[in-house]
Amino acid sequence: MEINQQSFKSEVLESDLPVLVDFWASWCGPCQMMGPILDKLEKDLAKTIKVAKVNIDDNPDLASQYAIMSIPALFLFQNGKVVKQWLGLQNGQTLKEEIGQALSS
């Protein structure tokens, strides 16, 4: 799900489910490689979390608000707050395990 400045509050901050937000850009190679990993993660954890993408070029205010300096940057939100974050290309299985740990603590 692609979100922007206007939909961020309702889709992420006010979401009933935890949301994994991928801050990315189309020119970013590792971001492109992260795409299929996130697609699989979204299928595997469909009832547990939502996965959303924010293009930092189209939404510079959000990138600034969350101090995005390097991409891909993954932020896990729960109840409107960031509970975990990752920088750079991630291994899908490790990411799945770390999300589980973050949500259970």
- Shortest CA distance to 58 belongs to which of 47, 43, 68? 68
Give the pLDDT confidence score for residue 46 in this predicted structure.
86
Superfamily name and number for 5-104: Glutaredoxin (3.40.30.10)
Residue-wise pLDDT for 56-76, tens only, equals 999 999 999 999 999 999 999
DSSP 13-51: IT-SS-EEEEEE-TT-HHHHHHHHHHHHHHHHTTTT-EE
26 a catalytic residue: no
Q: pTM to 2 decimals?
A: 0.94
Catalytic hit among 28, 51, 102, 103: 28
The one-letter amino acid code at 58 reads: D
pLDDT at 92: 92
pLDDT band at 104 (very low <50, low <70, confident <90, very high): confident
Catalytic: which of 3, 12, 31, 99? 31
Q: Confidence band (pLDDT; 50, 70, 90) for 44?
A: very high
Contact 92, 34 (CB under 8 A): no
Domain boundary assignment for the chain: 5-104
Q: What is the rounded CA–CA span in Å between residue 87 and residue 7?
A: 23
- Concerning whether 16 is annotated as a catalytic residue, the answer is no
Predicted confidence at residue 95, as pLDDT, reads 94
